[in-house]
Structure 1
Amino acid sequence: MARVPRLVKALIKRMYNRDMKYNNIVIRLQKHGEKGITDIEIVVDNRFFCIIEAKKGWSLPTLDQLKKYRERFGGYKRTKRMFLVLSDCTEEYFNGNLKRSIRGVPIKSISWHDVIKTINYIYHEASNKEKYLLSELQKYLLEEVQMENKESNWVYVVSLSNKTPKWSKISWRDVINKKRLYFYPAEKNWPKIPLNYMGFRYDGKLQSIHYVKSYEIVADMHSRIPEIKRGKVKNHYLLYLGEPFEPRKELPIGKIWSNGRLKCMLDTLFTCKSLKDACAVSKKRLKD
């Protein structure tokens, strides 16, 4: 980042909502302190001090973590200090899950998506050397930080009930079949990064497979699916699905527990005799 001043200037403008004239910028990575290690520290003319916490996916730092770094702002005026969180989180999710300030230090958020947009915006004005560095940074962000793997052919298969929950006016199946959406809780037993494909099974067989076009974590699902009562489904992943496609032949489930969640490689769903066999073949490939 320090080798591309144009990008640093653009990000500082985003952070402070104004153009800033400065003579010197110091960027420190993995700065050690008595109470922990910060990811990035930016000091502008020894007047502005920003501590950046960089997170993968939709995770956010805890308040306890940020409190450890609070003492490092000593000597900087109240309006000249800031915590900045870099993550995949939308502004809506960030505002609903983290305070705006902590002990007088404002906490702001910029998504990795916005960083990539900033790179695209300044790219055409950059020098050839800067363009190379910007391209490499963008590639890293797309492949590593956001952990996207568009070439992956893994499918996450879930059981789908035809019931309508008490807190909803739309059934589980209609959410997928009519709205092309699927949601699940942001909990440890579910994928932190959705797989590229979702498979849905019911009535004893695999019914459809969908490409996951995009996703987000939604603070209140009512804001995206009005049929769901306000405040009943909070902090869930929402997947935007493509059109369904089906195996060429009927694929029975096999002997697996009724509501189990499974991972299979896409091609195995077209070549194996059952969903259970597809999972077994997929796991064997990983070991070979």
Structure 2
Amino acid sequence: MPEPPPLTNHGKTMTSVFSLLGRNENDLTAALGWTLRSSPKFLAALTGALSPAPQARTTRIDLEVSDQLGRTDLELHGADHAIVIEAKRGWLLPTVTQLETYASRCGSAPIAHLVTLSDCSPDWAQMHLPAIVGEVKVTHLPWSVVGERLASARRTSAGHERLWLDQLDIYLKEALRVVEVNNAEAYCVVISNDRPGGGGPHTYREIVEQGYYYYPYGWGRGWPAIPPNFLAFRWEGYVQRVHRVLDYEVIPSLQDRWPDIPVLSESSGDRARSDVTDRPHVLCRLGPALRMDPLPTGINYRANRLWVLLDQLYTAPTLQAAQRESQVLRGDAVADESASI
């Protein structure tokens, strides 16, 4: 049987039926709800990740239930359980106030759960969410666990059920990948030989040489919410290194990774906010440095952070030229690179 022709929507290729929905949080929960309805094995696998797990069959799956207190994303109800699911993209979590408004939806069910879904790790969620809200247990499931339970159900499914599981698997892998794996933009930052927190054994440059880079999460101005695929580092007037970002995590403080970095809080005097060490940071794990000759910046960018196409870093005579050509290729208006960020 020949391959079907590609289907595009506004020029974007649709890889699954769920791609027609979009990729926002409501779309994610709609796709999840439909597949839970269509696959008893996936439904059992996902609810089985909860403790205590429901024993009775889920008899009702509701999307976007609204009342005077708010609107839930997804609800699962059965004779012995009520499960309210709140889904987020990235590392976001719902607020405690949100969860408090949803707790009443569980009524007097013997098994009641408020479930949060996001990329956030269970440890991070445990630090920021209460264990119980209104006598209802709060459980966090990373999207990676949803993917594991989905894969488990796919291995033992066939026919109509397997079709929907395959469609959701394709959709989630694309919808949750905020930065496409083939995106070739590098985020170019300056690093120095200063020491985080004003002391300790590590300089910023040494941390990069160890294979890591970090930046503020949720409190630094202008930093990307999701790390890029590539990071470029410059010092002494040159772009010196480019690394692929292999993976990342959000850590509560720099001391979680480097206990010997001095603890510096916002109340520690007149230090800049960027020097604060005991706040959340995005920690990127770097691949090996890509081979390149040092690239002169062309102008003094000071501490500016720049988006530059990877191929331009390797072909342009200066970083200034690489940035300008990147803007042209992206169709952006050419900005004044000397303006501070």
Q: What is the TM-score with the length of structure 2 in the denominator? A: 0.77
Say whether residues 1:65 and 2:109 are aligned partners.
no
1:56·1:146 contact (CA, 8 Å) conserved in 2? no
Consecutive unaligned residues in structure 2, runs of 5 or more: 1-34, 265-276, 333-341
- Cα distance in 1 for residues equivalent to 2:251 and 2:91: 11
Q: Compared with structure 1, are the counterparts of its residues 151 and 137 closer, same or farther at alpha carbon in structure 2 (3 Å cutoff)?
A: same
| Deviation, structure 1 residue 52 | 0.6
1:6 corresponds in structure 2 to 41
- Cα distance in 1 for residues equivalent to 2:317 and 2:278: 37
- Cα distance in 1 for residues equivalent to 2:82 and 2:143: 21
2:194·2:203 contact (CA, 8 Å) conserved in 1? yes
Deviations 1:233-279 (A, max 9, x none): 331111010000143x4311122531011111110101112112212
1:82·1:107 contact (CA, 8 Å) conserved in 2? yes
- Cα distance in 2 for residues equivalent to 1:80 and 1:93: 24
Return the letter of the residue paired with 1:66.
L
Say whether residues 1:226 and 2:259 are aligned partners.
yes
| Deviation, structure 1 residue 101 | 1.8
1:237 corresponds in structure 2 to 282
Instruction: Give the 3-state SS of the residue equivalent to 1:242 in structure 2.
Output: strand
Q: Give the number of aligned pairs.
A: 282
Return the letter of the residue paired with 1:22.
A
**Between 20-29 and 106-115, the greater mean CA deviation after superposition:** 20-29
Say whether residues 1:118 and 2:162 are aligned partners.
no
| Deviation, structure 1 residue 42 | 0.9
| Deviation, structure 1 residue 167 | 5.0
- Cα distance in 2 for residues equivalent to 1:11 and 1:152: 32
Say whether residues 1:37 and 2:71 are aligned partners.
yes
Which of 130, 133, 142 matches 2:173? 142
2:316 corresponds in structure 1 to 272
2:84·2:106 contact (CA, 8 Å) conserved in 1? no
- Cα distance in 2 for residues equivalent to 1:97 and 1:146: 24
Deviations 1:133-158 (A, max 9, x none): 22221222221134241111111111
Q: Compared with structure 1, are the counterparts of its residues 146 and 16 closer, same or farther at alpha carbon in structure 2 (3 Å cutoff)?
A: farther
After the TM superposition, which parts of structure 1 deviate over 6 Å for at least 4 consecutive aligned residues? none
Query: Percent same amino acid at aligned positions?
Result: 28
- Cα distance in 2 for residues equivalent to 1:251 and 1:144: 35
Q: Compared with structure 1, are the counterparts of its residues 246 and 48 closer, same or farther at alpha carbon in structure 2 (3 Å cutoff)?
A: same
- Cα distance in 1 for residues equivalent to 2:314 and 2:66: 52
**Between 54-63 and 113-122, the greater mean CA deviation after superposition:** 113-122
Consecutive unaligned residues in structure 1, runs of 5 or more: none
- Cα distance in 2 for residues equivalent to 1:24 and 1:160: 54
Q: Compared with structure 1, are the counterparts of its residues 180 and 116 closer, same or farther at alpha carbon in structure 2 (3 Å cutoff)?
A: same
1:40·1:52 contact (CA, 8 Å) conserved in 2? yes
Q: What is the TM-score with the length of structure 1 in the denominator? A: 0.91
- Cα distance in 1 for residues equivalent to 2:82 and 2:77: 5
